[in-house]
Amino acid sequence: MTEYDSWYKWGKTVLYVEMLIAVLVTVFSLYMAFNGQARWLI
Protein backbone atom coordinates (compact mmCIF):
# COMPACT_ATOMS: atom_id res chain seq x y z
CA MET A 1 0.00 0.00 0.00
CA THR A 2 1.62 3.18 -1.17
CA GLU A 3 0.99 6.63 0.27
CA TYR A 4 -0.98 7.59 -2.85
CA ASP A 5 -3.34 4.66 -2.43
CA SER A 6 -4.14 5.50 1.18
CA TRP A 7 -4.70 9.18 0.28
CA TYR A 8 -6.98 8.16 -2.58
CA LYS A 9 -9.00 5.85 -0.32
CA TRP A 10 -9.30 8.56 2.36
CA GLY A 11 -10.25 11.21 -0.21
CA LYS A 12 -12.93 8.93 -1.67
CA THR A 13 -14.37 8.33 1.81
CA VAL A 14 -14.56 12.07 2.49
CA LEU A 15 -16.23 12.60 -0.89
CA TYR A 16 -18.90 10.01 -0.13
CA VAL A 17 -19.53 11.50 3.31
CA GLU A 18 -19.94 14.97 1.80
CA MET A 19 -22.33 13.61 -0.85
CA LEU A 20 -24.37 11.90 1.87
CA ILE A 21 -24.58 15.12 3.89
CA ALA A 22 -25.65 17.06 0.79
CA VAL A 23 -28.43 14.52 0.07
CA LEU A 24 -29.62 14.60 3.69
CA VAL A 25 -29.72 18.40 3.73
CA THR A 26 -31.66 18.44 0.43
CA VAL A 27 -34.19 15.88 1.67
CA PHE A 28 -34.57 17.75 4.97
CA SER A 29 -35.12 21.06 3.17
CA LEU A 30 -37.74 19.57 0.85
CA TYR A 31 -39.48 17.89 3.80
CA MET A 32 -39.62 21.19 5.70
CA ALA A 33 -40.83 23.09 2.62
CA PHE A 34 -43.66 20.64 1.93
CA ASN A 35 -44.70 20.78 5.58
CA GLY A 36 -44.84 24.57 5.53
CA GLN A 37 -42.18 24.93 8.20
CA ALA A 38 -39.48 26.51 6.04
CA ARG A 39 -40.20 30.09 7.13
CA TRP A 40 -37.16 30.16 9.45
CA LEU A 41 -34.89 28.79 6.69
CA ILE A 42 -35.59 31.64 4.24
**Model confidence pLDDT, tens digit, residues 10-33:** 999 999 999 999 999 999 988 888
First to last CA, the chain: 48
Cα 22 from Cα 30, distance rounded (Å) = 12
Determine the distance from the C-alpha atom of residue 24 to the mean position of all C-alpha atoms in its chain, rounded to a whole number: 6
Mean pLDDT of the 1-9 span: 81
pTM above 0.75, yes or no: no
Under the banding of pLDDT at 50, 70 and 90, the label for residue 40 is low
8 A C-beta contact, residue 26 and residue 34: no
